[in-house]
A and B are shown apart, each in its own frame.
Chain A
Amino acid sequence: MSASAFAIDASGLCLSYDARRVLDDLSLSVPAGAVVGLVGPNGSGKSTLLRCLLGLSVADSGESHLLGCPSLLLDDPTRERLGYVAQTPDLFEWMEAWEHIETIGRAYANWSPERAARLAVQLGLPLGATAGSLSVGDQQKLAVVLALSHDPDLVLMDEPVASLDPIARRAFMRTLFAYREDGAAPRTVLISSHQLGDLERVVSHVAFMRAGRIQLMDEWDALIEHVRVVAGPPPAGALHVARDGRALVDLRRTPCAVEGSPVGLDELFVLLNT
């Protein structure tokens, strides 16, 4: 990898639509090999962030790099190593699933029909149906196969499993790690999702987003081990104080005399956003 050890490196991103600030001086650094859950309420800017990182939207200011390459100047060798699942997949209604996979796949040097077929089978995607006749869930499966068939090193996914049932979501999570070429370094993944129970299985890191900023990002194991929720008067140096008066403290920064309770991803999400 080039100069930076970060697969994703963004700093100072700002973007406004009309008068609304969607990204507000956002910085994010994702180490190579990390699987990062990007979580935040609807409208917090997750999709816009993913689009900016990929150069599909242009930030008003700030800069970002993917695999060491500027987002707005992604060259072919870098594109070859990227996969993206958009919130609403761009599909041709009249085209069959397998035709999509072949047509789009052939644009990549590293595309393999075997890998594509195995991914499709693992996800239970009907290959002979036209995209227009697929359910929303099956369209998402197709988008995932399209994003992973060339064995990318970095994948950005925007709500890829929103319409999948729990069994298909399990299968999806397995595909994140499967069918890598032998000896390839672990894939870096940035995935936005509201399926927090799913994320808990696979993430190495969680980035909490709120109002156009990254509010908190850390290794998930570290957050479970060190973040506690405490009732009563909020201690100095609390990470966040929720509206109901409960406070989140990081024991590494605020060794806390008051006994707190550990907190899961669901609860952490709620507390950080109220």
Chain B
Amino acid sequence: MRFDILPSSTEPIYRQIVEQVRRHVASGRSRPGEELPSVRALAETHAINPMTVSKAYSLLESEGLLQRRRGVGMVVALRGRPMPAAQRLALLEPALVEAARQAGQLGVGDADALHLFEKCLRRQQTTRTRQKLSEEKP
């Protein structure tokens, strides 16, 4: 599982980890049984505090999305199944509501806002393809 950590974001780092795991599982990109990076490894990679990672993992464990497995560490729990499209859309909605609010404040027209969102989607697609290719390389 790959994480994007933005330390200067106004979303706390532990919350960034929690939300990314939720989205990975909801999308089906991470399946039940998949191992998560160890607390130490994830903290080292991003030069962040291991306690922040522990906090995120513990929250996800208490929600039942992750499971602690002896000798392996954290894995995606059995109930961590992909969500139906409608529920995934519901998860996306708050971010779009916020974007719509800001578009209004900035006086950006609907057509321009939609066009920009399409552009962002395409950019995301390119990034994902590139990541996939670099992961498949031996």
Chain A residues with CB under 8 Å of chain B are: 33, 35, 170-171, 173-174, 177-178, 186, 197, 200-204, 220-221, 224-225, 262-266
Q: Is the CB of A186 within 8 A of B12?
A: no
How far, in Å, is A222 (CB) from chain B's closest CB? 9
Identify which of B7, B14, B44, B48 contacts A221 (C-beta below 8 A).
Answer: B14
Report if A197-B50 is in contact (Cβ < 8 Å); known contacts: A174-B44, A177-B43, A221-B14: no
Q: How large is the interface on B (under 10, 10 to 19, 20 to 34, 35 or more residues)?
A: 10 to 19
Chain A contacts of B12 at CB under 8 A? Answer: 220-221, 224-225
Bound CA–CA A235/B79 (angstroms)? 46
Q: Is the CB of B47 within 8 A of A202?
A: yes
Task: Identify 14 new A-B residue pairs, CB closer than 8 A, beyond the known A177-B49, A224-B12.
Answer: A35-B51, A173-B48, A177-B43, A178-B44, A186-B50, A197-B8, A201-B7, A201-B49, A202-B48, A203-B49, A204-B52, A221-B13, A221-B14, A264-B10
What total of A-B pairs shows CB separation below 8 Å? Answer: 49
Report if A33-B51 is in contact (Cβ < 8 Å); known contacts: A197-B8, A224-B12: yes
Residue contacts A-B, CB under 8 angstroms, 16 given:
A35-B49, A170-B47, A171-B47, A173-B47, A173-B48, A177-B43, A177-B50, A200-B7, A201-B7, A201-B48, A201-B49, A221-B12, A221-B13, A224-B12, A263-B10, A266-B8
Interface SS of A by simple majority: helix
Q: Which residue of A lies closest to B43 (CB)?
A: A177
**B29: interface (CB < 8 Å):** no
How far, in Å, is B61 (CB) from chain A's closest CB? 18
Q: Which residue of B lies closest to A202 (CB)?
A: B49
Chain B residues with CB under 8 Å of chain A are: 7-15, 43-44, 46-52
Chain A contacts of B52 at CB under 8 A? Answer: 204
Bound CA–CA A33/B52 (angstroms)? 12
Q: Is the CB of B10 within 8 A of A201?
A: no
How far, in Å, is A4 (CB) from chain B's closest CB? 20
Q: Which residue of A lies closest to B50 (CB)?
A: A177
Bound CA–CA A170/B5 (angstroms)? 14
Chain A contacts of B50 at CB under 8 A? Answer: 177, 186
Bound CA–CA A108/B69 (angstroms)? 39
Bound CA–CA A35/B52 (angstroms)? 11
Q: Is the CB of B10 within 8 A of A224?
A: yes
Q: Is the CB of A201 within 8 A of B51?
A: no
Q: Is the CB of A265 within 8 A of B49?
A: no
Chain B contacts of A204 at CB under 8 A? Answer: 49, 51-52
Q: Is the CB of A262 within 8 A of B47?
A: no
Chain B contacts of A203 at CB under 8 A? Answer: 49
Chain B contacts of A174 at CB under 8 A? Answer: 44, 47
